[in-house]
Structure 1
Amino acid sequence: MKILIVAGPFISLREPYNGGTEAFIVEHANALVRLGHIVDVIAKDADEKNLFQVIEFHESPLSMKDDSYRPCPELLGQQHYQTLQFGLFDVSRYDVIHYNSFIPEIYAVGALHKIPCVLTLHLPPTEKFVLMYQFFTKHAPVLSVGISKRMSEQWKAFLGKDVEVILNGIVLDKWKLHVRNADGYLLWSGRITKEKNVEAAIHLANYLKQPLRIVGPIFDKEYFLDRVQPQLNERIEYISHATQQQLSKLAAGASAYLATATWEEPFGLSTVEMLASGLPVVGFNTAIPPELRNEKVSISVDSHDWRDLIEPLETAKKSEPAACRDFAASFDMTKTSAAYVNIYERIAKNPR
Structure 2
Amino acid sequence: MKILLVAGPFISLREPYNGGTEAFIVEHANELVRLGHTVDVIAKDADEKNLFQVIEFKESPLSMKDNSYRPCTELLGQQHYQSLQYGIFNVSGYDVIHYNSFIPEIYAVAALIKTPSVLTLHLPPEEKFVLMYQFFIKHAPVTPIGISERMSEKWKAALGQDVEVILNGISLEKWKLNERNTDGYLLWSGRITKDKNVEAAINLANHLKKPLKIVGAIFDEAYFNEQVQPQLNDQIEYISHVTQQQLSNLVAGASAYLATAIWEEPFGLSTIEMLASGLPVVGFNTAIPPELRNEEVSIAVDSDNWQDLVAPLAIVKNCESEACRNFAASFDLTKTAVAYVKIYERIAKKVEL
C-alpha distance in 2 between matches for 1:195 and 1:77:
29
Summarize deviations over 1:136-171 as a string: whole Å, max 9, x none: 000010000000001100000011111000000111
Q: Which amino acid aligns with 1:314?
A: A
C-alpha distance in 2 between matches for 1:328 and 1:160:
33
How far did 1:287 drift? Answer: 0.2
C-alpha distance in 1 between matches for 2:197 and 2:71:
35
> Structure 2 matches for 1:83-94, cutoff 5 A?
83-94=83-94
Secondary structure of residue in 1 paired with 2:125: coil
Secondary structure of residue in 2 paired with 1:304: coil
C-alpha distance in 2 between matches for 1:70 and 1:244:
40
Unpaired segments ≥5 residues, structure 1:
none
> Structure 2 matches for 1:121-136, cutoff 5 A?
121-136=121-136
Q: Which amino acid aligns with 1:300?
A: A
Secondary structure of residue in 1 paired with 2:326: helix
Query: What RMSD, in angstroms, separates the aligned Cα atoms of the two structures?
Result: 0.8
- The match for 1:102 is 102
- The match for 2:239 is 239
Q: Which amino acid aligns with 1:158?
A: A
- The match for 2:163 is 163
Q: Which amino acid aligns with 2:32?
A: L
C-alpha distance in 2 between matches for 1:109 and 1:172:
37
- The match for 1:230 is 230
1:16 is aligned to 2:16: yes
1:148 is aligned to 2:148: yes
- Equivalent pair of 2:182/2:318 in contact (CA under 8 Å): no
Q: Which amino acid aligns with 1:346?
A: R
How far did 1:175 drift? Answer: 0.1
Q: Which amino acid aligns with 2:314?
A: E
C-alpha distance in 1 between matches for 2:12 and 2:79:
13
Q: Which amino acid aligns with 1:275?
A: L
- Equivalent pair of 2:188/2:258 in contact (CA under 8 Å): yes
How far did 1:317 drift? Answer: 1.5
C-alpha distance in 2 between matches for 1:318 and 1:309:
16
TM-score by length of 1: 0.99
Aligned residues: 352
C-alpha distance in 2 between matches for 1:316 and 1:273:
17
C-alpha distance in 2 between matches for 1:305 and 1:296:
21
Unpaired segments ≥5 residues, structure 2:
none
C-alpha distance in 1 between matches for 2:33 and 2:288:
30
- The match for 1:80 is 80
- The match for 2:189 is 189
> Structure 2 matches for 1:65-76, cutoff 5 A?
65-76=65-76
Q: Which amino acid aligns with 2:202?
A: I
Among all aligned residue pairs of Structure 1 and Structure 2, give the percentage whose two residues are the same amino acid. Answer: 80
C-alpha distance in 2 between matches for 1:181 and 1:131:
47
Summarize deviations over 1:41-96 as a string: whole Å, max 9, x none: 00000000000000000001111111122211111111111111100000000000
- Equivalent pair of 2:33/2:39 in contact (CA under 8 Å): yes
Q: Which amino acid aligns with 2:215?
A: V
Q: Which amino acid aligns with 1:147?
A: I
1:288 is aligned to 2:288: yes
- The match for 1:343 is 343
Q: Which amino acid aligns with 2:14?
A: R
- The match for 1:310 is 310
1:52 is aligned to 2:52: yes
1:334 is aligned to 2:331: no
C-alpha distance in 2 between matches for 1:252 and 1:80:
43
C-alpha distance in 2 between matches for 1:199 and 1:333:
32
- The match for 2:323 is 323
Secondary structure of residue in 2 paired with 1:195: coil
Summarize deviations over 1:162-188 as a string: whole Å, max 9, x none: 100000011110000001011110000
- The match for 2:3 is 3
C-alpha distance in 2 between matches for 1:68 and 1:179:
60
Q: Which amino acid aligns with 1:347?
A: I
C-alpha distance in 1 between matches for 2:208 and 2:15:
33
Summarize deviations over 1:230-285 as a string: whole Å, max 9, x none: 00000000000010000000001100000000000000000000000000000000
> Structure 2 matches for 1:243-262, cutoff 5 A?
243-262=243-262
C-alpha distance in 1 between matches for 2:196 and 2:158:
25
TM-score by length of 2: 0.99
Q: Which amino acid aligns with 1:105?
A: E
C-alpha distance in 2 between matches for 1:302 and 1:124:
19
Q: Which amino acid aligns with 2:12?
A: S
Secondary structure of residue in 1 paired with 2:300: strand
Q: Which runs of 4+ in 1 moved over 4 A?
A: none
Q: Which amino acid aligns with 2:127?
A: E
> Structure 2 matches for 1:191-206, cutoff 5 A?
191-206=191-206
1:180 is aligned to 2:180: yes
